[in-house]
Amino acid sequence: MNSITYGKAICYSGYRKDQTPIKQIYPTYENILEDLKILESDFDYIRMYDSGAHTKMTLETIRKHNIQLKVLVGMDLLGESSNENCSWGGDYTVDEIARNIEYNQNQLYQAIELVNEYKDIVLAVSAGNEAVPEWNENLVSPGRVLYFVQELKKYTDVPVTYCDNNYYWRDLLQEVAKEVDFISIHIYPVWLGANVSDGITTSIREFNEINNLYPDKQVIITETGWPTNSNGGQIPKEHANELNQLFFNNELDRYTQRNGITCFFFEAFDEFWKGSERIDEPEKHWGYYYDNRTPKRIKTK
């Protein structure tokens, strides 16, 4: 069984204020180098979500400067069918679906090329991220995810996985689970309304549920964390603050380290391009660091 050794891990996307993948305004080489020097002091692994320009430059920078980080590379998948269950998008024409399928195939080719070029730096590769949930505007079938997993295994020499929420590994991804080298789950108790102390119990229970369901597979966590701000929608304002983030991340880090479970915390830096225009949109506030790269700290009198 191809697996990965335990390491301290965090999700990395280096988009700063006024940078966005939507408009293809990417972090600069200098931005990335600064970020990586910050992260290598505390982490062994970083996770990235596609195989495009930002990921490629990150890998180039790691190699050029001999930065002691390995990278979980990903594939960014667009919707291959319309999704009437998504309230914010996912309604595609036939032509748009055809273009999305072509885009996804190119993502596969890019991932294979990138992994093979930087296999000394690549920890593993994922065949997508949260692509099968019914709420996703970019819906991809489990069968297509399975195809991407099989192609990545065929043409690369690194461990292959797929990243999704705990629930979907129970029901929709059983065939994918058989094929991947290890299973990558996402755990977000705060999105389910849990307070921070209950969130630790929930996270451990959800991990053990999948770990017990697939006893012959290594299971890791590729996303979990706690936001430091919220507009009070799905996440109550009082749940989202620096104290709760510090408690949740520290407690889960201790548990996963004690049990040898690699856990990618979400995420390294706040990203203003995400979510709605509201500055207190929780999607913008999951970082260990603020957008200006200063660490979040509890303010004391």
Residue 28, SS3 per DSSP: coil
User: Does domain 8-284 correspond to CATH entry 3.20.20.80?
Assistant: yes
- Number of C-beta neighbours around residue 24 at 10 A: 10
Dist CA 143 CA 185 (whole Å)? 18
* Angle of the 242-258 helix axis to the 196-213 helix axis, nearest 10: 30
- What pLDDT does residue 301 have? 35
Nearest C-alpha neighbor of 206 from the set 183, 227, 229: 183
Dist CA 286 CA 191 (whole Å)? 12
| Contact status, residue 286 vs residue 226, Cβ threshold 8 Å | yes
Instruction: At 33, list the tokens.
Output: 């180098």
CB proximity list for 212: less than 8 A, separation 6 or greater: none
- What pLDDT does residue 233 have? 85
Per-residue pLDDT of the chain (301 residues; tens, 9 = 90+): 578 999 999 999 999 999 999 999 999 999 999 999 999 999 999 999 999 999 999 999 999 999 999 999 999 999 898 878 777 777 889 999 999 999 999 999 999 999 999 999 999 999 999 999 888 888 999 999 999 999 999 999 999 999 999 999 998 999 999 999 999 999 999 998 899 999 999 999 999 999 999 999 999 999 999 999 999 888 999 999 999 999 999 999 999 999 999 999 999 999 999 988 889 999 999 999 999 999 997 544 3
CB proximity list for 30: less than 8 A, separation 6 or greater: none
List, in sequence order, every residue forming a beta bridge with 221; answer none if it has no partner: 185, 263
Q: What is the pTM of this model?
A: 0.95
Dist CA 87 CA 263 (whole Å)? 31
Q: Which residue has the tokens 């706690």?
A: 226
Instruction: At 127, list the tokens.
Output: 């065949």
| Contact status, residue 166 vs residue 187, Cβ threshold 8 Å | yes
Helices and strands (H and E) in the chain: how many:
8, 8
Dist CA 254 CA 259 (whole Å)? 9
